[in-house]
Amino acid sequence: MRIPAILGLLLVSGLTCASAAKAQNCTLSCGAECKQEASVCNATAALNARTDKASCDSDGTDGYISCDSDALDARSNCVGLCGDALKACLTDAKAGQKACYVNVKTTADPCKADVAQTFNDDHASCGVDLTDCMSSCGGGVQ
């Protein structure tokens, strides 16, 4: 069911690229070129942020899966136990899983914060580049 949608997207992409290839060359003003460069800069910063956030999310998911696997192993060690020994074993397994989750979260949250900070820095840098570019055109940002 996804194949027709993917083929449709490829067709639209191909037509868009073909249209872009037929576009006429033009001469842009210095300011217009600066604005185009800033637009690409900001789009690149946004794409990098989405990619880096996805990497943080993926690492976090892998961490949680590892926690669950370790907890399952710990629970399997409880097989054959009864009464207080079983209760203590299961409690330890659950406590280990919770501690592991906390560890994963303490790694994932700073990763996402770093991504946000990098995006903000990159976005600000794009603004500085635009201002510098516009200044080199003989005028300020318009």
What was the pLDDT predicted at 64?
96
Q: Which of 20-24, 97-101, 112-116, 133-137 has the lowest mean pLDDT?
A: 20-24
Confidence of residue 23 (pLDDT cuts 50, 70, 90): low
Structure tokens at 138: 């003989």
Distance of CA 53 to the CA centre of its chain: 2
The model's pTM is 0.67
Query: Taking CA 139 as the corner, what is the angle to CA 138 and CA 140, rounded to the nearest 5 degrees?
Result: 145
Residue 27 CA: distances (Å) to CA of 30, 37, 109, 129: 9, 15, 46, 21
What was the pLDDT predicted at 138?
79
What was the pLDDT predicted at 1?
40
Average pLDDT (116-140) is 92
Average pLDDT (57-86) is 96
Whether the predicted pLDDT of 4 surpasses 50: no
Domain boundaries, the chain: 29-133
What was the pLDDT predicted at 6?
44
Half-sphere exposure of 105 (CA within 13 A, CB side): 6
Structure tokens at 8: 């449709």
